[in-house]
Amino acid sequence: MSTTKGLENIVATQSAISSIIDDQLSYVGYKIDDLAENSSFEEIIYLLWNQKLPTKSQLDELKADLAKNMTISEAIIDHLRSYDLKRVHPMAALRTAVSLLAIYDDEADEMDEAANKRKAIRIQAKIASIVAAFARIRDGKDPIQPKEDLSYSANFLFMLNGKEPEDIEVEAINKALVLHADHELNASTFTARVCVATLSDIYSGLVAAIGALKGPLHGGANENVMKMLLEIGEEENAIPYIKEKLENKEKIMGMGHRVYRDGDPRAKFLREMSKQLTKRTGQEKWYNMSIKIEDYVKEHKGLPANVDFYSASVYHSLGIEEDLFTPIFAVSRTSGWIAHILEQYADNRLIRPRAEYNGPDLQDYVAIEDRS
């Protein structure tokens, strides 16, 4: 047996949802560049779940279904209130709350396709509301009910801030959600597929995926990018700070990628949004600092910025707290996770690789009284 550490370049499944070929990302064959410029997040959800773009009436129906299902029950809200709010990370709160949704869903263990599609809508709708409700509760505020006439992105910002967002804010969140929606067999999506390939339920797959996304080598990097920028503080400190980190063999969050070598095609959109939004708030230093870091790491380590790098200054410019960055990623990626879960169910086989054993040779059992 031979092993490949981290399963690098191992093709573990076939999938018709998204592809990365020659550093080009596409969803169901549509280039991310076209989708980022033209699509609503709801359109992407439809595309990923149905493998085709919706007609106007199909899109309207999905939007209405999502808006209608965004309300979360008092039971969930009471549960969020019961957490140790100063200590609990929003990703832990989200992981737990999604698990709790299953407890209150009579169809949680129904495995037929129609039931799974109904659950998909409910989960996708409620996940944004959970993130917004938790953020408000821990700030000592009451959760806000969604409005049925708002888009998914506008509703998220409305539930978070308690006021209707400006168009530029909605556009920024919409684009971020479009860009983060799916990414082939990334760690959290693979986790979801492994989980449901045992024929476990959709909620279990999502809880597992949220756990994987939380890690700083994956979705958790965006929060750490902002922490790093805040620690650097001023533009002139950026290069000495990064230089020292690299000399100490520390990783720079938001840089590098397992699949992309020349660059992450999503980063340019986030870079541009970061430029516009930091200008709008008069805080261009976060953008300028990010550019310096990106250029330095590219030149000295050959590593490109990934999707997490500029999303940090984008969300910060929208007034969003750092520890909500990864939950927002989860809100978007839920659409991709669900698409992959449904694809896995449709043609399932248990995912069970092998490990090459490198422990001690066979040895005789020693009774406890004879052990030293």
Residues forming the active site: 257, 308
**Closest among 168, 174, 167, 124 to 341, alpha carbons compared:** 124
Among 183, 193, 214, 275, binds ligand OAA (CB under 6 A): 183
Measured from the CB atom, is 126 or 257 closer to ligand ACO?
257
Q: Which is nearer to ligand OAA, 154 or 212 (CB)?
A: 212
Answer with the entry of ligand OAA, ligand ACO, none that 160 interacts with (C-beta below 5 to 8 A by kind): none
Cβ 203 vs Cβ 105: under 8 Å: yes
Minimum distance from CB of 52 to ligand OAA (Å)? Answer: 23
Which residues are near ligand ACO by CB under 6 A? 6, 217-219, 221, 251-258, 301, 303, 306-308
For ligand ACO, the closer of residues 174 and 186 by Cβ is 186
Residue 334 found at the interface with ligand OAA (CB under 6 A): no
209 interacts with ligand OAA by CB under 6 A: no
**CA dist 227 → 104, 220, 243, 316 (Å):** 36, 11, 17, 11
Nearest residue to 219 via CA among 186, 190, 178: 186
Between vectors from CA 177 to CA 174 and to CA 183, what angle results, nearest 5°?
A: 150
Cβ pair 329, 107 in contact under 8 A? no
Shortest distance (Å) from residue 255 CB to ligand ACO = 4
Compare residues 245 and 258 and give the one whose CB is closer to ligand OAA.
258
CA distance 323 to 224: 9
CB of 201 to ligand ACO, least distance (A): 25
| Tokens standing for residue 119 | 């659950």
* Residue 92 host element (H or E): helix 90-103
Question: Measured from the CB of residue 186, what is the shortest distance to ligand ACO in angstroms?
Answer: 6
Of 63-92, binders to ligand OAA (CB under 6 A) are: none
* Secondary structure (3-state) at 171: helix
- The structure tokens listed for 221 are 């990097």
Task: Report, in Å, the least distance between residue 71 CB and ligand OAA.
Answer: 29
At how many degrees (to 10) do helices 221-232 and 325-346 cross? 160
CB of 149 to ligand ACO, least distance (A): 33
- 236-242: long-range pairs with CB below 8 Å, 24+: 238/289, 238/292, 238/293, 238/296, 239/292, 239/293, 239/296, 242/293, 242/296, 242/297
Q: How many residues does the chain have?
A: 372
Show the binding pattern over residues 274-313: x = contacts ligand OAA (CB under 6 A), - = does not.
--------------------------------xx------
251 binds, among ligand OAA, ligand ACO, none (CB under 5 to 8 A by kind): ligand ACO
By CB under 6 A, residue 258 contacts ligand OAA:
yes
Closer of 118 and 258 to ligand ACO (Cβ)? 258
Q: Of 161 and 306, which CB lies nearer to ligand OAA in the complex structure?
A: 306
Positions that interact with ligand OAA (CB under 6 A): 183, 186, 258-259, 306-307
